[in-house]
Amino acid sequence: MNFIGHEIDDFKVNAYQDGKTKEVTKNDVLGKWSIFFFYPADFSFVCPTELEALQDKYDDFKKADADIYSVSEDTEFVHKAWAEASEKIGKIKYNMLADPAGKLARMFDVLDEDAGQAYRGVFIVDPDGKIQSYTINNMGIGRSADEILRTLQAAQFVREHGDRVCPANWKPGQDSIKPSLDLVGKL
């Protein structure tokens, strides 16, 4: 299934954030850019390296008017226990969504039903709740926080400048391309 342009469904899940539990709904993510970052499980091996890398870039995501929602099939209580047990996870300030019933993982089609865990999916959702970018990796393949941020910035640029596109490795401030027949075969 192709998710580009697909509006996310309504949802309501529990979350752990910075020492507290709370509820997060679709309405909470509308009006700003959102990164849904699925990972297989708390208390695992690759996952803490990814979550720490996202935390290290969290201020950059916030400056880009985006919030991060990490998601696993664990409960908010397991997220809390992991934050208390791990220095890396303990410093996370973004929302850690609890999806023990797999509702979000099924909605984004990243649930490995046999394992009861989510594949490593990243979904960049615009302020209207529509998916603008996504990648899905197998369980053992970690992701780059820098590339997620760069992709977010490119999606934001394209949304703001609908007549321009971003070439490979584009970063804010670099030249973009205005598609035209004059460029065909010249790039």
Catalytic (active-site) positions = 47
The residue among 178, 128, 172, 182 whose CA lies nearest residue 152 is 172
Could you tell me how many residues make up the chain?
A: 187
**Alpha carbons 82 and 116: distance in angstroms, whole number:** 19
**Alpha carbons 77 and 98: distance in angstroms, whole number:** 9
The alpha-helical segments, DSSP class H, found in the chain are 26-29, 47-56, 58-63, 76-85, 87-90, 103-107, 145-160
User: What Rg, from alpha-carbon coordinates, does the chain have?
Assistant: 17
Instruction: Write phi, then psi, for 136 (nearest 5 degrees).
Output: -135, 125
Helix (H, G, I), strand (E, B) or coil at 69: strand
**Alpha carbons 85 and 98: distance in angstroms, whole number:** 18
